Chain A
Amino acid sequence: MTRPAVPTGTDPVTETEQNGVGEVADQSVGQGVGPSVTEGGDPAVQDRRPGGRAAASARIRATLGDHLRVVLLAVGLLVLIVVSFGLGRYTLGPVSVVRVLAHELFGLGGDVPGQNRAVVMDIRMPRILAALLVGAALASSGAAYQTMFRNPLVSPEILGVAAGAGFGASASILIGLDTTLLQIISFGCGLLAAVLSLTISRVVGKGSLIILVLGGIIIGAMFNALISSVQYFANPETTLPEITFWLFGSLARASMHGLIVPAIIVAVCLVVLYAVRWQLTVLATGDDEARSLGVNRTRIWALTIGASTLMTATAVSVAGIIGWVGLVVPHLGRFAVGPSFSRLMPVTALIGAGYLLAVDDVARTASSLDLPLGILTALIGAPFFVALLAKAGRQWL
C-alpha cells in the first residue's frame, strides 16, 4: 500500500481521475481490518449501492444546473429591466424600449422618437441603474455578512453602517449641503460607524465575533440617537420632511454622474467578495476547522468586512436606508443554489438587483406619489420572513 501523497508532491485529483470513482470503491475499507467488519454487515461502511453513487455523481454535474440557473436569472433580470424602462406615466412597449437602448448604447437601428429617448435615457436610466446597483450591493453584502458571522439572521446593518450613513445624510440635509456632498459625508459616517464597531471588538473582545455584533448594536443605537436629535432640531416645514423621506429610502435623487463613483466602489467590492468566495464558505463551518484547512481567517475577515461595509455605506449614501433586502434576498439565493458562497454570491447579487428594481417599479408607479422604498421592502419582506421562519426556522433554533 502506498503512503498518502507527500504534502507538495503529486496532484491527488489527477490520481483519482485515473482511478475513476468506480475503482476507488473497490479499495474496501473493510479489507484486512478483521472479519468482524465483513461479517457484521454494517450499513455505514459497507453500503455502496450503485444507485447511491449514480445519484451523487449527478451532483457533480449539477454545477451545470447551477450555471443554468444563473443564466436563467440573468435573462429574467434583463426582461425585468426592459419592462421597467417601459413603466411609468409615459408608458412604452418593450419594442420601443429595446429600439431606444439599441440605438443609444450600441448605435444599432434607425432613429427613435426624441421623447422616447428622453424618457428612457434621461429619466428612467439613472433610477433603474441605481436600483440594480443598490439591490446587488445590499444583497451580496448581506450574504457575505451572514456567511462570515455564521448567522442567517444577520443583515448589512449589523455593524451600524446604515445608522452611521443615515446620520451623515440627515446632518447634511440639516445644514443644507448638495447631493454630492451628502453622499460623501453619508458614506464617510457609515465607514466611521463600522470602524468604531471593529475598534470595540478589538479592544474589548480581542476580535471576538460576538463582541463585534454587540459593538455594532451599540454603535448603531448611538447613531440612531444622533439621527433622532438631528430630526428634533430640523425645521418641520422644510428639512424635517426631506430627512424623513431620505431615511425611508428612495431612488428619486439618482443621477447618472452621481452613480459613477458608487458603481466603481460596488464593482471592486463584488470582485473582492468573489475572490474570497470559497475561503469564506470554508470559514462558515468554524474557525478552527477553517484554519486547519489552511484558511487565513484574519485576512478573509478583513476582506469580507471591508468589501461588505463599503458596499453597504455606498448603497445607503445613494438610496437612503432600505432594510430587508440584505436580510431576505440571501435566503432566496440559498433556496436556489445552496449555502456555498461561491454559488450563492452571483445568484444573490442578481436576485437583489431584480428585487429592488421590481420594488422600485412599484414605488414609482403604484400611486402618483413616489412611495418610500424602505417601507415597501419591509411590507413585502416581513411576511416573507415569517414564511421563511415557518419553513426553515427549526434549523436555526
Chain B
Amino acid sequence: MAVITETPDVEVNGLSFGYGRNGHRITDVSLSVRATEVCCLLGPNGAGKTTLLRCLLGLLKPESGTVRIAGRDLGTLTPRELARSVAYVPQSTSSPFPFTALDIAVMGRTPHLGLLEAPGAADRRSALAQLDRLGIARLADRSFAALSGGERQLVLLARALVQQAAILILDEPTAALDYGNEVRTLHVVAELAREGHAIIMTTHQPSHALTYSNRAVLMRGGVVIADGHPDDVVTGESLSDLYGVPVHVTGVTLPPGYDRREMRTCVPIPTPWSDPQLEPRTRNSDH
C-alpha cells in the first residue's frame, strides 16, 4: 500500500539555527521524511525539536543548510505555496473571540483562496466534510473555546486536513489530552500517514514512537543523535542515555483478535531500588 515517491516530501540538509548567543540552537540537522511515514521527534526539553519544526514551517530562517519541500527549496516558496504543502497542528490555539469549530476548520482553506477572497459555501462544506470525517461534525456550531482539549485537537487536525497539505507537522499534539483522547488522536494521525501524508510530530512519550510511528529521530542539544525505525533506535539504552533516567523497553504480547500480536513499549525503571514504597510490591510479584 505504501507509495514511495522518488523525492522525499521533506528533506533537511545541514540545517543550523540559533536564538541569539545563549538561546537554544540546532546544529547541522539532516533529515528526510517521505509519504506514509510518521516521524517522531524525541528528545529532552531544549533539544531543539520545536526549533526544527519552526524552521520547517518557514517561521524561522535557517542560518545555514537547506530545507526542501517536495523537492523545492523552502526559501523559494511563498507563504501560500508553503501552506498548500505543509500544514501545522499546534498544541492548542486560543483567540479572545468566539469562533466556532467550523470557523476554525474553514481557515484551512485560506492558502487555496484568492488573496482578496473570503471562504464561501463550498469552502464551508469542505471544512464540514473534514469535521465529519473526524467524527466531530456535531461540534461545528459550538464555540471552539468551549470545547474540551481533545475536541479542540481534532478540530485543529480537521483544519490541517482542509488545508489539503501532503505534509503535516504536529507539535506535541497530545500534550494537553487525557489518555483516551491521546490514543484517539494518535490513531487518526497513524491513519492519515497510511493514506499518504508525511507526518512529523514531536512528543515527550517514547511509547508514541514505538506504537504509532515508523520513524524515530532522537535529538539532544540541537543535534540528531539517532534516526531510523523505532525498533532500531528507540531502545532501553538510547532512551536512558537521551533522557538521563533509566528506561526499559520491553515487548508486550496482545491477546488474539488484533492485527498486531507483538508490541513494544517502554517503562521507566524506578530508582532508587531501596525506595520502600516501591520495593515490596515489585519483589512480591517476582516470586
Selected contact of A291 from candidates B57, B117, B120, B126, CB within 8 Å: B57
Contact B93 A33 (CB under 8 A): no
A-B contact pairs, 13 of them (CB 8 A): A3-B35, A3-B166, A4-B195, A24-B132, A29-B187, A31-B191, A42-B184, A44-B150, A45-B187, A56-B128, A152-B96, A293-B107, A293-B108
Asked, given contacts A1-B196, A7-B85, A56-B102, whether A293 binds B188 with beta carbons under 8 Å apart, the answer is no
> Which chain A residues lie closer than 8 Å to B94 at the CB level?
286
B205 at the interface (CB under 8 A from A): no
Which chain A residues numbered 318 to 359 have a C-beta less than 8 Å away from chain B? Answer: 334, 338-340, 342
Which chain B residues numbered 100 to 157 have a C-beta less than 8 Å away from chain A? Answer: 100, 102-104, 107-113, 115-126, 128-141, 145, 150-151, 154
The size class of the interface chain A forms with chain B is: 35 or more
Selected contact of B86 from candidates A57, A59, A292, CB within 8 Å: A292
Given contacts A13-B122, A17-B126, A281-B107, 4 further A-B contacts (CB under 8 A): A4-B165, A56-B140, A295-B110, A339-B95
> Which chain B residues lie closer than 8 Å to A63 at the CB level?
120-121, 124
- B228-236, B252-260, B276-284 - interface stretch: B252-260
B208 to chain A, nearest CB (A): 15
The 9 closest A-B pairs by CB, nearest first: A52-B138, A294-B83, A339-B97, A56-B140, A294-B111, A3-B196, A292-B88, A294-B80, A342-B118
- A90-98, A259-267, A271-279 - interface stretch: A271-279
In the assembly, what is the distance between CA of A63 and CA of B132, in Å?
20
Contact with A along B215-259 (1 / 0, CB 8 A): 000000000000000000000000000000000000000000111
Asked, given contacts A24-B133, A279-B115, whether A34 binds B258 with beta carbons under 8 Å apart, the answer is yes
Contact with B along A55-68 (1 / 0, CB 8 A): 11101110100000
B95 to chain A, nearest CB (A): 5
In the assembly, what is the distance between CA of A286 and CA of B110, in Å?
14
A310 to chain B, nearest CB (A): 19
In the assembly, what is the distance between CA of A188 and CA of B259, in Å?
73
Asked, given contacts A13-B126, A57-B128, whether A44 binds B181 with beta carbons under 8 Å apart, the answer is yes
> Which chain A residues lie closer than 8 Å to B109 at the CB level?
13
Contact B116 A275 (CB under 8 A): yes
Contact B1 A1 (CB under 8 A): yes
A88 at the interface (CB under 8 A from B): no
Contact B110 A294 (CB under 8 A): yes
> Which chain A residues lie closer than 8 Å to B257 at the CB level?
35
Contact B154 A44 (CB under 8 A): yes
Contact A4 B197 (CB under 8 A): yes
The size of the chain B interface, using a CB distance under 8 A, is 88
Which chain B residues numbered 42 to 91 have a C-beta less than 8 Å away from chain A? Answer: 54, 57-59, 70, 78-88, 90
Contact with B along A1-44 (1 / 0, CB 8 A): 11111111001110011010100110101111111110000101
B interface, CB within 8 angstroms of A: 1, 3, 35, 54, 57-59, 70, 78-88, 90, 93-100, 102-104, 107-113, 115-126, 128-141, 145, 150-151, 154, 163-166, 180-181, 183-184, 187-188, 190-191, 194-197, 257-260
Q: Is the interface of A mostly helix, strand, loop or mixed?
A: helix
A46 to chain B, nearest CB (A): 6
> Which chain B residues lie closer than 8 Å to A7 at the CB level?
70, 81, 84-85, 165-166
A124 at the interface (CB under 8 A from B): no
CB closest residue in chain A, given B97: A339
A147 at the interface (CB under 8 A from B): yes
Asked, given contacts A45-B187, A52-B138, whether A292 binds B98 with beta carbons under 8 Å apart, the answer is no
Contact B190 A27 (CB under 8 A): no
Which chain A residues numbered 284 to 316 have a C-beta less than 8 Å away from chain B? Answer: 284-286, 288-289, 291-296
> Which chain A residues lie closer than 8 Å to B184 at the CB level?
37, 42, 44-45
Contact B196 A284 (CB under 8 A): no
Selected contact of B140 from candidates A45, A55, A293, CB within 8 Å: A55
- Select the residue from A32, A36, A292, A396 with max chain B CB neighbours within 10 A: A292
A367 at the interface (CB under 8 A from B): no
Contact A56 B131 (CB under 8 A): yes
In the assembly, what is the distance between CA of A28 and CA of B120, in Å?
26
> Which chain A residues lie closer than 8 Å to B166 at the CB level?
3-7
Contact B125 A60 (CB under 8 A): yes
CB closest residue in chain A, given B160: A292
> Which chain A residues lie closer than 8 Å to B123 at the CB level?
13
> Which chain A residues lie closer than 8 Å to B130 at the CB level?
24
> Which chain B residues lie closer than 8 Å to A55 at the CB level?
138, 140-141
Contact A42 B95 (CB under 8 A): no
